Chains A and B, each alone.
Chain A
Amino acid sequence: MYLLLLPVDGSAEGQNELQRMIDEATPGDVLTIPSGHYTGPIVISKPITLKGNGEVVVQGNNLDVVVYIAADQVTLEGLTIEHQSKDKDTMAVLVEGDGHQLTGLTVQTDGYGIVLRDAHQSEITKNTIKGNAENERKDRQNGIDLFGSHDNVIKGNDISYVHDGVYLERSEDNDITDNTVTHSRYGYHLMFTEGTRLTENISEQNVTGAMVMGTRGTVVSHNQFRKQLKHVFAQGLLLYDVLHAEVHHNHIHANLVGIFIQDSQENKIYQNEVAANYIGVQMLNAKDNHIYENQFVANVVSAQAQHSSNNQVKENYWDNHMGLDLDGDERSDIPYRADPFFYTIVKDTPAFQIFFQAPGMTFLENILKSDTSLWLEDAAPRKHPVLDMDESSQSVSIGLLAFSALLLLFSMYIIYYGGKRKNET
């Protein structure tokens, strides 16, 4: 377990100066670590506070764990932890016990970033965790990883180039808020959790923004899931086998699929802005969900659904819907329906996906209407958007102006040239 290595810059006296300081401290001490390079592994087995004064780097080469917290009430603040390893299943920071505070850490890892195992009531805040960008996604590990850990707060962390940004499994009542995850596989990944609150986070350019699976009572609100595009399975938010979740006020922009809901029941999905995705919402075997007051704007396809007719879908705004409001209640009297035709064909034979948005396909959908009672239906869609769109206002583009003028001049010249009658041939 204790693999001792020489200090990298040779300046630190002794074999492990930092560990010696910790061993000499008494519980409750606040240790201010002078700047410098220290080597791991570091084991903290008493409730103390470690504060970095200046640039404090704890380095580990091919260790299983660089910093191991094995007590309660430990505070780590302002340290840099560098974890280099050929084995991805190793950890920069392993946390056990309760009531910790890890804040302002900078973690560079080839394996896991911060791992919580049966650790409760801890706060993981304002840390920066970066994986190895040169490795493939599958050869990285999770930024923050919780297993069997309850009542923790994960707030304000900045995570990039890892496997999953924040991963929770069999953990209850955790708060994940105000974090940013980019360039990873999944931004936020919840597996079999209860009472997770995922709020005000950002996920950009991952395969999936938030992957929520097998959870109970999750809140997903005020998040921004954007630009999950560069992968064939990319999604903004995925709900799979999810019960009693509340998904609201999220901005789900420019993803391959905005929201994908599969085998999930009794969730409330409302007042989300789902915009500029290739497919706005996709539903498969979803039932008894309440989906209302969402805004579906500028998606290439607004909705695709199969076996999902038993949902309460109402009062959403669908920008591609040709509604008609006869009684002036701002709701269309013509329902919005998502045609399952193409989705069904593709489910059976994925190769036919090549006809996505083919003109013949759209034409066909309009002439072959199957039994609409089995379709996903919004009985009273809104006539006007619910929420204000923060639309990127485009300024007058000189390039556009010039190019358009050029096109127009060219066509005018040709038409004039063609139309004039002198010099007949």
Chain B
Amino acid sequence: MDALTIMKNEIKLGFRNPWAYSFLGIFTLLSLSMLIIQSGPVSDLNQYTKTTGTLMNLILYLLPLMTLLLGALSITSEKEDGRWHLLSTYPLSSFSFIIGKYAGMFIVLTAIISFGFGLSGLIGSFLGQGLSLETLLWIFVFSMMLILLFLGLAVWIGAASKNRWQALTISVGVWFLLVLAWPILLIAVLSLFPYASIQPTLEILVFFNPAELVRIFVTLYLGGGHIFGPAYYEWIEWFHQPFGVLFLVAVSMLWVLGSVGLTIWKWERKRRHV
């Protein structure tokens, strides 16, 4: 038994979970909305349009929540259902187990969004309207990034929670904080800060919220960076340089490796303390 076996098993389990199908349904509905968003005249200078902007917004509501719930519950249920008790009697390392679960769920979630995007893309190309290959590719990349980062958080929540209810509550809480409450929280808190420190704080905090990280940088590489205003001019320019791109890849990897690493450590500690 190794990570690969766990991964295959996770894919099977994933699609026996009714949650997966309900998310598949919702996500497909959402991506079909790509076809009705009026895109208007397109500029060859950028890909950031109403279509991409609106889609990114919609996906940000749904996909992180989906990822957190599926991911966290899948890990917690291993504990609650006692399957991990059984598995831990085999020579299976926590490392292989968590990596396998992560990879398996990543494939399950990718399959869900692929279905939604594939179906809308197919219908769109027959209707000959609504979206272009570039738009679809970018939105797909955007969604994959969200899955990668939020899945790291999800497995960690799963490992840290005692049971399904706790996992569910924490997942929804984290989603609410990172996706919905984030701007108002920061605006409220930072308004108490000295004026000059507001922007630097915001620039740093972007890296601590995967939803904002992915949203801002996809907007930026879609060519829409100037919408963040003159205050961010140099910041935006910096991230358009090769070093800036590299930096972002590094931060994203740090997110994934960090959260998965913490999960493995947590899992291993519990295994020894059971």
Chain A 396-425 near chain B by CB (<8 Å), digits 1 or 0: 110111011111111110110111000001
Q: Does A26 touch B at the CB level, under 8 Å?
A: no
CA distance A403 to B137 in the complex (A): 8
Q: How far is the CB of A374 from chain B (nearest CB, A)?
A: 20
Q: Does A81 touch B at the CB level, under 8 Å?
A: no
Return the contact of A229 from the options B46, B54, B132, B232 (Cβ within 8 A). B46
Please state if A425 and B8 are interface contacts (CB–CB under 8 Å). yes
Q: Does B261 touch A at the CB level, under 8 Å?
A: no
Q: Which residue of B lies closest to A406 (CB)?
A: B118
Return the contact of A418 from the options B15, B48, B230 (Cβ within 8 A). B15
Interface size on A, residues (CB 8 A): 66
Q: Does B129 touch A at the CB level, under 8 Å?
A: yes
Q: Which residue of B lies closest to A233 (CB)?
A: B230
Return the contact of A319 from the options B9, B38, B181 (Cβ within 8 A). B38
Q: Does A358 touch B at the CB level, under 8 Å?
A: yes
Q: Does A373 touch B at the CB level, under 8 Å?
A: no
CA distance A347 to B71 in the complex (A): 40
CA distance A365 to B53 in the complex (A): 17
Please state if B45 and A411 are interface contacts (CB–CB under 8 Å). no
Q: Does A349 touch B at the CB level, under 8 Å?
A: yes
Which chain B residues lie closer than 8 Å to A287 at the CB level?
none
Please state if A404 and B187 are interface contacts (CB–CB under 8 Å). no
Q: How far is the CB of A385 from chain B (nearest CB, A)?
A: 9
Q: Does B22 touch A at the CB level, under 8 Å?
A: no
Q: Does B133 touch A at the CB level, under 8 Å?
A: yes
Q: Does A3 touch B at the CB level, under 8 Å?
A: no
Q: Which residue of B lies closest to A299 (CB)?
A: B50
CA distance A24 to B38 in the complex (A): 66
Q: Does A21 touch B at the CB level, under 8 Å?
A: no
Please state if A392 and B226 are interface contacts (CB–CB under 8 Å). no
CA distance A262 to B108 in the complex (A): 51
Q: Which residue of B lies closest to A232 (CB)?
A: B230
Q: Which residue of A lies closest to B51 (CB)?
A: A298
Please state if A408 and B230 are interface contacts (CB–CB under 8 Å). no
Which chain A residues lie closer than 8 Å to B41 at the CB level?
253-254, 275-276, 298, 389-392
Please state if B180 and A300 are interface contacts (CB–CB under 8 Å). no
Q: Does A230 touch B at the CB level, under 8 Å?
A: yes
Return the contact of A403 from the options B136, B179, B203, B219 (Cβ within 8 A). B136
CA distance A6 to B96 in the complex (A): 82
Please state if B5 and A425 are interface contacts (CB–CB under 8 Å). yes
Please state if B132 and A397 are interface contacts (CB–CB under 8 Å). yes
Please state if A351 and B198 are interface contacts (CB–CB under 8 Å). yes
CA distance A124 to B216 in the complex (A): 46
Interface set, chain B 31-57, CB cutoff 8 A to A: 38-43, 45-46, 48-51, 53-54, 56-57
Q: How far is the CB of A393 from chain B (nearest CB, A)?
A: 7
Q: Does A357 touch B at the CB level, under 8 Å?
A: yes
Which chain B residues lie closer than 8 Å to A231 at the CB level?
226
Please state if B39 and A400 are interface contacts (CB–CB under 8 Å). no
CA distance A275 to B223 in the complex (A): 17
Q: Does A37 touch B at the CB level, under 8 Å?
A: no
Chain A 332-364 near chain B by CB (<8 Å), digits 1 or 0: 000000000000011001111111111111111
Q: Which residue of B lies closest to A356 (CB)?
A: B227
Please state if B117 and A394 are interface contacts (CB–CB under 8 Å). no
Which chain A residues lie closer than 8 Å to B231 at the CB level?
350-351, 353
Which chain B residues lie closer than 8 Å to A409 at the CB level?
118
Q: Does B70 touch A at the CB level, under 8 Å?
A: no
Return the contact of B128 from the options A227, A363, A395 (Cβ within 8 A). A395
Q: Does A65 touch B at the CB level, under 8 Å?
A: no
Q: Does A166 touch B at the CB level, under 8 Å?
A: no
Please state if B38 and A230 are interface contacts (CB–CB under 8 Å). no
CA distance A233 to B228 in the complex (A): 11
Which chain B residues lie closer than 8 Å to A229 at the CB level?
43, 45-46, 223, 226
Return the contact of B11 from the options A319, A358, A364, A417 (Cβ within 8 A). A417
Q: Does B78 touch A at the CB level, under 8 Å?
A: no
Which chain A residues lie closer than 8 Å to B110 at the CB level?
410-411, 414
Which chain A residues lie closer than 8 Å to B38 at the CB level?
297-298, 319
CA distance A230 to B120 in the complex (A): 31
Return the contact of A356 from the options B54, B114, B228 (Cβ within 8 A). B228
Which chain B residues lie closer than 8 Å to A256 at the CB level?
226-227
Return the contact of A414 from the options B111, B195, B206 (Cβ within 8 A). B111
Interface set, chain B 171-199, CB cutoff 8 A to A: 179-184, 186-187, 191, 195, 198-199
CA distance A351 to B184 in the complex (A): 14
Interface set, chain A 129-182, CB cutoff 8 A to B: none
Q: 7 additional contacts, CB 8 Å, given A394-B129, A407-B115?
A: A229-B223, A232-B232, A351-B231, A352-B183, A360-B182, A394-B132, A412-B115
In the assembled complex, 9 residue pairs joining A and B whose CB atoms fall closer than 8 Å, in A order, are: A229-B45, A276-B43, A298-B39, A298-B40, A351-B202, A354-B206, A354-B228, A357-B56, A400-B125
Which A residues are closer than 8 A to B by beta carbons?
205, 226-227, 229-234, 253-254, 256, 275-276, 278, 297-300, 319, 345-346, 349-364, 389-397, 399-401, 403-412, 414-415, 417-419, 425
10 tightest A-B contacts by CB? A404-B121, A298-B40, A418-B15, A408-B118, A407-B118, A254-B43, A351-B199, A411-B115, A414-B111, A353-B229
